[in-house]
Every structure is written in C-alpha cells, then in structure tokens.
Amino acid sequence: MIRTFSKLVLAALGGFALSSCGGGFDPASLVQSVRVLGLRADKSYAAPGDTVNLEILAVDRRKSPSAEMHVYWLPIVCTNPANDAYYACFTSAAKLTGPNGETGTGGVATGGGDVTGLLPKGSTFSYKIPTDAVTSHPAVAGSNGAYGISIVFYMACAGRVRFASRDESNANPQQVPLQCVDDNGTVLGSDDYVIGFWRTYVYDARPNANPVIESVKLRDQVIPAGATVAVEPCTKAAAQCNAAEINVVVPPSSQEDKPYDPDAPRERVWVSAFSDVVAIDGAQKLLYDTKVGAITDNPIKLTAKTEDLGKSGTLWLIVHDNRGGATWTTRPISVVPTL
C-alpha cells in the first residue's frame, strides 16, 4: 500500500488545514504543488515470485514551475526490513534485490551523489517479489497468518535526484537518504517534490483485487468520462452554498471478504477526492464499512469561490480498500455562472 515518509508529509502539509469558507489555509484536498495522489498495483497482495506492476498518479499544479516534474524509482526491492520499518531498508542489514530478482547489498545510501540518470523514470514500475518473501519473514505473534513485506521507493521531483549521506551519529532512524535538488545542487522546497514508498504484503495464497469504479454521478446524473463537472461559485456562507454533489458508484463486488479476520470480515472501501480549483467538503467518504456494508447518501460536495469564476481544472477521485487496493478516475471541472 502507498505510504509517504512522515517527516516530508508533515512538511508538505504543514501549510494546509481544513478551513471554513471565508479564510484560513487551503485544505489538503486542494492541489497546488507536486503531489502524489494515488498508487496502484495489479497485485496489491502478492505471492512469492510474483511480478508486481505499479502505476502512480503524480501531478504538478505549481503556479510557477521552474522545471518539469518527473517520477523516479529507486531500482531496489527491500524485503522484510527489521520490524517491517521502511527506514530499516537503508541500513547495512537490509535485504535488497533488483527489480528482476537479482541479489543486492544493504546500505544503499552510503554516500552523496547525483543519481538522476541512473534511476528508472515514468509513471509505471515493475518488480519481482523474492521467492522466500514469506519464509524469510520472522513469525509475528498475533498476526493472522505467515506473511512477508516488499518495499519500493519513489520520488516525484521537479529537479534532480541526489543521494544524501547518512549520518550514522544521528539517533533518528527515519533519515531520508534522497534529495530533490535544482541544477545548482540546492535542495528544493516541499512544493517541488514528494518522496515515498509502496509496501506490498506477500502471502502464499491470499489475493486482493483492486476496487472498481462503476460510474461517477453529479447528484443523480452520470458524468461520462471526459464530461465537465460544472460548479457554481458560492457567494454565501459555506453551509448555505448550493454545492455540486458527487457520488462515486462502486459495485458491492469490490468489497471483498476477509474470512481470516473475524473482527473485520469484509474490506473497508472509501474514496478520496482532490481538485486544483474548487474546495471539497468531505474529501474522504466511506463507501463500504467492514461490518455494516454499503454506506449510502454520502456525497462529496464541491464549492467554488466567486473569484474562481471562469477557472477550469481537474477533479481526481481515488477509491481505496484497506488491503492496498486502489483505482482512480478524473473529470474536468469548470466554475460557471449560476445555472
């Protein structure tokens, strides 16, 4: 499943907070920088020896970009790091392999240096799960079955990628060994990059399919792919705005059973919404509860400010399940006069 380094996420979101209409900071659902909105695998739960194909949804909505953003992948697979912690992948004890299963060594961040030209680049990346991913993982008391973990790292960077030397005297284990820098080697700010990792859980026989988006509706009308969502500007208090209500329709078959987990026998499924133009009330909406099942009448509400009139952009809708499954769809958005 997708994770981002906590220190960098806090830096990236430190200037954002959910706010009411009329002031304060922009909400995190408003995209105005380099952002990673989603990542999906064709096998979010994998078996030993499987090849996993990843696709990332990374966008660049900086107002004044100075360089093009690219997605880079660290071409290693870190399997079963100590305590399942991503940062243990950068120690000398880490078990590393190449994307095709070739044997590697630990301590990948032992020195500085520009590695931009050495890293795979693009929105997709494939890697092979080691055949001993389950058998080499220490037994964990209380877990619901033997498992393994494989981790790969990525960076969406509007610049160049450089390894930073690891400070072995620093007691903080979560040192981030990659930097996004400009052509002069100056470290760029949090609006210009995102660094993170994808963690695949590995089982001998426990597959997980990605959820499916059946349709997207504006109130009760289906919005075909490519059709624009029209949003009226709000001139009143947020509670009185005539919000555009979006419902993402996900079929019941997307909520898979988990017979091995009696406390949560079915998946949790939810949708996350982002936009580069409008405000979103309820940017995350639960679609299926682990015990209750389908959650109905739970729309995502879009509102725009008067000063946004005439602007256009994108609505991103990402559906997740709580076992790492994901899928997404987009719709154009336009802020139009009162309909």
Residue type, position 157, single letter: C
| pLDDT score recorded for residue 20 | 25
117 and 39 within one domain: yes
Which tokens hold the place of 206? 């426990």
Q: Which domain holds residue 155?
A: 2-202
194 and 219 within one domain: no
225 and 149 within one domain: no
| pLDDT score recorded for residue 6 | 32
| pLDDT score recorded for residue 56 | 98
- Report the alpha-carbon distance of residue 24 to residue 107 in Å, rounded: 43
CA torsion 294→267→77→203, rounded to 10°? -150
pTM of the model: 0.87
| pLDDT score recorded for residue 23 | 35
Domain for residue 209, yes or no?
A: no
Total domain count for the chain? 2
149 and 288 within one domain: no
Give the position of tokens 């981030």.
Answer: 176
| pLDDT tens for the chain, residues 1 to 339 | 445 433 232 222 222 222 222 333 457 899 999 999 999 999 999 999 999 999 999 999 999 998 999 999 999 999 999 999 998 888 778 889 999 988 755 544 445 689 999 999 999 999 999 999 999 999 998 888 899 999 999 999 999 999 886 666 666 667 777 899 999 999 999 999 999 999 999 999 999 999 999 999 998 899 999 999 999 888 766 556 778 999 999 999 999 999 899 889 999 999 999 999 998 988 899 999 999 999 988 899 998 988 999 999 999 999 999 999 999 999 999 999 876
- Report the alpha-carbon distance of residue 331 to residue 309 in Å, rounded: 18
The phi and psi torsions of 239 (rounded to 5 degrees) equal: -65, -20
